[in-house]
Amino acid sequence: MIRMKWCKLIASVLCLSLITGCWDRSELNDIAFVLAAGIDLAENGQAEVTLQIALPTEMPSTMQGGRGGKRTVLVVSEKGRDGADILHKLQKRLSRQIFFGHRAVVIIGEKYARHGIDQFLDTLLRAPGSRYNSYFLTANGTTAKQALQTQYMLEAIPAIALKKMQLTGLGLSVKMDEFLDELSSSGRSPVTGALKAYNSKSEDGVLNIDEVAVYQENKLVGFLTPNEKKILIWRRGKLERSKMTAQVEPKVKGFKGTVGIEIMKAKADLRTKINNGMPEVTIVFKAKAKVLENDTRLDLSKGKNLKLVQSKFAGEIEGLIKSTLKHAQKQLKADIFGIGEELHIQHASYWKQNKDQWKDIYPGVPVTVQIDVKIQRTGRIQSPVYPKK
C-alpha cells in the first residue's frame, strides 16, 4: 500500500514537471498589430509593401472612432524583390513582431494590379497568420501607399474607416476568400471594390469606394462606373438602399420632371440556352421600390401615372444593364456576371466541351434583358405639392 502511494506521488511530481507554462507566448507589448496592408509596383520594377500599424498606446480611446488629436497609426513602407524579402526588411525596422491577425483591409495599387498579382497572392496565402476574411480593394488613380497614408476625419484609424465603409452595403464588398474563389473559377471574372483617396488642403483627406475593379485572371483590366457597379451588386444579390432617378416628364417651370426611388429588393436571374451550338442568355431583372422624391406634376396615387413611372425606370435599368454588359463583353472581355458559371450549371455537357475556349466565346454571346419594376410605396403623400391640373 505504501509503495503504491509513493508511486502515485512520483507520477504526480513528474506530470507537474512537464507543465512549464507558455514557452512560446507573445506579450501584447511585443506585437505590432497590422490593420491594413498594401502593395505597389516601384519604379525599378520591384514591389513596395506598405503597412498601417496601430499605435498601442492610442488603441483604447480610438477604436471607438473619432479623432483624438494624436497620432494613432504608424505607416511604414519597404521595397524588395518579393514579399518575403520586403517583410524581412520591415521587421528589421520595427521593435515589435509584425502580426497580421487583425488586418482588416488589403489594397492593391493600380500599376501593380495591371502588372499581375500572382506573387503577392502567393505571399498572402502562405503566411500562417494571414486572414482570408480581409477586405480586398484595388487603388484607382492612386497607389496603395498614398491611400494608407490618407488621414480620415470620422475615424482615428483609417483602416477602420475602410472596413466600416465596406460594411454599409452601398459599395461592392469582396473579401480575400471570395476573390480567390472567383480567381480559381473559369466561369466568372474576379472583381474588387475600387478605392480612390483624395488629399485635401486641410489635414484630412477623402476615401471613396464607389467603383469596381475588374480582373481577367490575375491582372486588372479596367473599372466599372458607379452606375455599372449597381448592376453588378444587384446580380450578386447584395443590394442595400440603392437609389435611382429617372426623367419621367419634360422639365417645366417649377418642376424638373424627375422621380427618385430607392430599390428595396432586387433579383437578377440568368437563363441560358444553347441554340445551334451557341449559348444565348436572358437576364430577368425584378425589383421592388419606393418613391423618395417626386419632382413632377403627376399624382402617383393614380394607376396610370404609377405605371408611367415604373415604365420609365424599367427603361433606365434596361439601358444600364445593356451598357454594362457591352462594357464587360466588348471592352474588358471579363465575365463579371458569371455567365460561364450558369452555363456550367444549366448545360454541363456544353461547358465541359467549351470551357477552355470560353474567353473567345464570351464576347459574342447574345444577351436579352427582361425588366419588371414594381413601386410598392409612394410615401406619406401621393400627389405633388403642386399637382397637375
List Cβ neighbours of 228 (8 Å cut-off, separation of 6 or more).
212, 320, 323, 324, 327
End residue of a domain, out of 224, 239, 258: 224
Give yes or no: residues 95 and 194 share one domain.
Answer: yes
pLDDT at res. 268: 86
| Cα–Cα distance for residue pair 216/120, rounded to 1 Å | 16
Question: Would you report the helix, strand and coil content of the chain in percent, each value rounded to 5?
Answer: 35, 30, 30
Give yes or no: residues 205 and 99 share one domain.
Answer: yes
The pLDDT > 90 percentage for the chain reads 50
Sign of the CA dihedral with 207 first, then 213, 218, and 221 last: negative
Whether residue 61 is contained in a domain is answered as yes
Whether residue 52 is contained in a domain is answered as yes
Whether residue 11 is contained in a domain is answered as no
Average the pLDDT over 136-148 and give the result.
93
| DSSP three-state, residue 270 | strand
CA distances (Å), origin 226, targets 204, 209, 237, 327: 24, 9, 17, 13
pLDDT category at 264 given cuts 50, 70, 90 is: confident
Whether residue 357 is contained in a domain is answered as yes
Whether residue 37 is contained in a domain is answered as yes
Residue 64, φ and ψ in degrees, nearest 5: -85, -5
CB contact at 8 A, 34 and 100: yes
Give yes or no: residues 161 and 114 share one domain.
Answer: yes
Whether residue 5 is contained in a domain is answered as no
- Report how many domains make up the chain: 2
pLDDT at res. 157: 87
Instruction: Summarize pLDDT for 63-76 with one digit per residue, the tens.
Output: 444 455 577 899 99
Strands 105-108, 135-139: parallel, antiparallel or unpaired by DSSP?
parallel
Which of the 8 DSSP states describes residue 255?
A: B
pLDDT at res. 19: 59
Alpha helices, DSSP H, located in 142-198: 144-149, 158-167, 176-184
List Cβ neighbours of 297 (8 Å cut-off, separation of 6 or more).
249, 252, 255, 384, 386, 387, 388
Task: Kindly tell me if the per-residue pLDDT of 350 is higher than 80.
Answer: yes
Instruction: Summarize pLDDT for 172-213 with one digit per residue, the tens.
Output: 899 998 998 898 888 899 999 999 987 665 556 788 898 999
Task: Report the alpha-carbon angle 226-230-232, nearest 5.
Answer: 110
Give yes or no: residues 208 and 245 share one domain.
Answer: no
Give yes or no: residues 376 and 259 share one domain.
Answer: yes
pLDDT at res. 65: 46
Give yes or no: residues 215 and 278 share one domain.
Answer: no
CB contact at 8 A, 134 and 103: yes
Owning domain of residue 269? 226-389
pLDDT at res. 316: 93
Task: Kindly tell me if the per-residue pLDDT of 62 is higher than 50.
Answer: no
Give yes or no: residues 162 and 275 share one domain.
Answer: no
pLDDT greater at residue 266 or residue 241? 266
CB contact at 8 A, 280 and 272: yes
Average the pLDDT over 286-296 and give the result.
92
Give yes or no: residues 48 and 156 share one domain.
Answer: yes
End residue of a domain, out of 162, 194, 224: 224
Q: Mean of the per-residue pLDDT values for the chain?
A: 85
pLDDT at res. 381: 62
Average the pLDDT over 326-333 and give the result.
95
Give yes or no: residues 220 and 236 share one domain.
Answer: no
Q: Quick one: cell of 71?
A: 497620432
pLDDT category at 123 given cuts 50, 70, 90 is: confident
Whether residue 184 is contained in a domain is answered as yes
Task: Kindly tell me if the per-residue pLDDT of 324 is higher than 90.
Answer: yes
| Cα–Cα distance for residue pair 283/272, rounded to 1 Å | 9
Count how many residues are written for the chain.
389
Give yes or no: residues 132 and 245 share one domain.
Answer: no
pLDDT category at 167 given cuts 50, 70, 90 is: confident
pLDDT category at 253 given cuts 50, 70, 90 is: confident
pLDDT category at 151 given cuts 50, 70, 90 is: confident
- Looking up cell 430607392, which residue turns up? 262
Give yes or no: residues 270 and 330 share one domain.
Answer: yes
Give yes or no: residues 213 and 323 share one domain.
Answer: no
CB contact at 8 A, 33 and 99: yes
Task: Kindly tell me if the per-residue pLDDT of 116 is higher than 80.
Answer: yes
pLDDT at res. 61: 46
CB contact at 8 A, 95 and 53: no
Q: Quick one: cell of 113?
A: 494590379
Amino acid at 267: K
pLDDT greater at residue 107 or residue 61? 107
pLDDT at res. 133: 87
Task: Kindly tell me if the per-residue pLDDT of 322 is higher than 90.
Answer: yes
End residue of a domain, out of 184, 203, 224: 224
| DSSP three-state, residue 263 | strand
Instruction: Summarize pLDDT for 230-243 with one digit per residue, the tens.
Output: 889 888 877 667 88
Residue 368 belongs to domain with CATH number: 3.30.300.210
Whether residue 19 is contained in a domain is answered as no
Q: Over the range 186-213, which residues count as b (16 or more CB within 10 Å of their CB) and which as e?
A: ebbbbbbbbbbbeeeeeeebebebbbbb
pTM (two decimals): 0.84
The secondary structure of 317-337 as a DSSP string is HHHHHHHHHHIIIIII---TT
Which of the 8 DSSP states describes residue 23?
A: T
Instruction: Summarize pLDDT for 46-61 with one digit per residue, the tens.
Output: 999 999 999 876 554 4
pLDDT category at 24 given cuts 50, 70, 90 is: low
